[in-house]
Structure 1
Amino acid sequence: MKKLKNLYLLLCFTILSCAGGDSNVETPNIPEPVASPLQSTLVFPENNKECTEGDIQSDTRSIVNFQWNNSENTDSYEINLKNLNNSNSSKANSTSNSILITLERGVPYEWFVVSKANGTNITASSTTWKFYNQGPGIENYAPFPAEAVNPKRGANLSNVANVTLEWIGSDIDNDIIDYKILFDTNESPTTVLGTTTEQTIEASVAASSTYYWRVITTDFNTNSSTSEIFSFKIN
């Protein structure tokens, strides 16, 4: 009986020793999560304005200093630029809150900045601004190409027979006189839905069809701009 008791005590001691573990084992270092970058605020070139500053290289090109406010938790910035005449896009990167970019003169652009942080894929985008880069001898600029508001790009609509097309038009000279709307089921619409001084127009639609539309904006000096082609589907 005594031997069984000693064996029992030895077994309990062994179990307790194993359960106690090695006090010298290091606890692994778990890195703290990386804070997500926040949105930056654009500064220059200004929205819906003529950019008159820059280092003129020739009659067709100039170098403009893009600027924005630093955003929190950010290590670098991606500058996204789009030529609104031909829809060509480009990107540039900076670790500061400014960058020099060569632009075509007399051309409308839009731009926004994406804030990035090392160690995370989460990003934050600024608002998008539009501007005209000053061109030689231009006294009146064409309107900016209109932007679609409704329906959203690629929207799917159901159980509707009429759709209100809505857009935003702007001009640094503030002399827009009308909008002509091209609307049909061809990918390059040519049918004139109507001309209006408003920024909305009604369109009749049919089920199981995809519609394409664009806006031609004209100003008092007969300058005009043509928007991108927008589309939506009726289920």
Structure 2
Amino acid sequence: MKKVIYVFTCLIIVACGSDDDGSGGTTNNNIPPSPPSLISPNNNSTIVTQEVDELLYFEWTQASDPDNDVVNYQITFDTNANFTTSHSEMAQGISFYHYLEPNHTYFWKVRALDSNNNWSNYSQTWSFYIQDALTPLPPQLIFPLHETECSNDNITFEWEASTDVSNSSIEYKLYISQSSNFDSNVDIYETTNTFYNVGLPQSTALYWKVEAINAIDNSSFSETRSLYTQGDGTNNTIPQIEYYYPEDEATLSDQSPLLQWQGSDNETTAGDLSYKVYFSEVGQDLVLIEETANISSYEVTGLNTGTTYQWSIWVTDTDGATNVGEVFTFTVN
């Protein structure tokens, strides 16, 4: 009798896939939808809420799907541009109502998900600010710049004017502290101006911010900046800086003006002084555009008409003492 041996072969099929990383992807040969484009709120806009717990309206374009799959959307919000503390909501259509706390800047983006679980790439990231109608806008700090080291211990702090929807009068409080949390050693200075001169202790790290307060005592705070005051130099005075052109708040027709200044120092010859040139549009942070020695002018080019610019010169002597110059502005027409 013959023995018949049956051999059973098992074929194991392993399906390979990848985790969703937010960059879009294909599963089961199904093509993911295209990324949507944002429509509303406009990028860098300010939304004024008129009611308590008012819902905001968001809108984006329809994503196209090559396989004609049903498409839903994920909308993601964060107060951080890197989306490290984000939260997301799902929407079935191309618009969505959602509540966000006012008096914050938010970043948002949208991506599409088809019925085969394929994600599109994200849309662009846009931002907007929500202003409570009863709260003034946060003051924008001008001077001194963040993390400035100041040789002179008598400083004029400057910021842009704040407004609210009712155009009520705004008062300001300047807070200066040795604590970044402002929980101890806080000096508070009140003013109706957008500047305040303060004598500061030497060799001290300090933090400062500004609060804007309207007529009904609603308020908002600026960002917090830091600075450091140097100690007494040994037989060394702080170099001086004088701006020549353009004058503060001047109106120019030249789109390539030549910034001009002159530095002086009791212990250092003029030729040995070094300068840093900071420049930007008003409303933006000043940016270092030139660092040089023995030059008392700098040409800025490609400026736009109808735009106001700001500039500041820092002068340093051979002993390392630095004078942070005032911030001047001019408008190109």
Matched, 1:218 2:213: yes
AA of the residue aligned to 1:185: Q
Query: What's the Cα RMSD here?
Result: 4.5
User: Partner of 2:96 in structure 1?
Assistant: 99
User: Partner of 1:156 in structure 2?
Assistant: 147
Percent sequence identity is: 13
Instruction: Indicate conservation of the 8 Å contact 2:141/2:223, yes or no.
Output: no
Structure 1, unaligned runs of 5 or more? 1-33, 53-59, 83-88, 133-139
State how far apart, in whole Å, the 2-side matches of 1:160 and 1:116 are. Answer: 51
User: Partner of 2:280 in structure 1?
Assistant: none
Structure with larger Rg: 1
State how far apart, in whole Å, the 1-side matches of 2:107 and 2:98 are. Answer: 13
- Selected match of 1:174 from 157, 167, 177: 167
Instruction: Indicate conservation of the 8 Å contact 2:150/2:227, yes or no.
Output: no
Distance 1:156 1:218, change over 3 A: closer
AA of the residue aligned to 1:195: T
Distance 1:119 1:65, change over 3 A: closer
Q: Give 1:94 shift.
A: 5.2
Distance 1:47 1:98, change over 3 A: same
State how far apart, in whole Å, the 1-side matches of 2:60 and 2:212 are. Answer: 33
State how far apart, in whole Å, the 2-side matches of 1:151 and 1:40 are. Answer: 36
Q: Give 1:227 shift.
A: 1.2
Greater than 6 Å deviation, 4+ residue runs: 116-120
State how far apart, in whole Å, the 2-side matches of 1:157 and 1:38 are. Answer: 42
Structure 2, unaligned runs of 5 or more? 1-23, 25-34, 64-72, 113-118, 231-333
**Alignment: residue pair count:** 172
After superposition, where does 1:1-235 map in structure 2 within 5 Å?
40=38, 42-43=40-41, 47-52=46-51, 61=53, 64-70=55-61, 77-80=75-78, 91-93=87-89, 98-102=95-99, 108-114=103-109, 124-132=124-132, 141-151=134-144, 155-161=146-152, 162=155, 164-167=157-160, 169-187=162-180, 188=182, 190-198=186-194, 200-205=195-200, 208-219=203-214, 221-227=215-221, 230-234=224-228
Higher RCO, Cα 8 Å, sep 6+: 1
Q: TM-score, normalised by structure 1?
A: 0.51
Q: Higher helix share goes to which structure?
A: 1
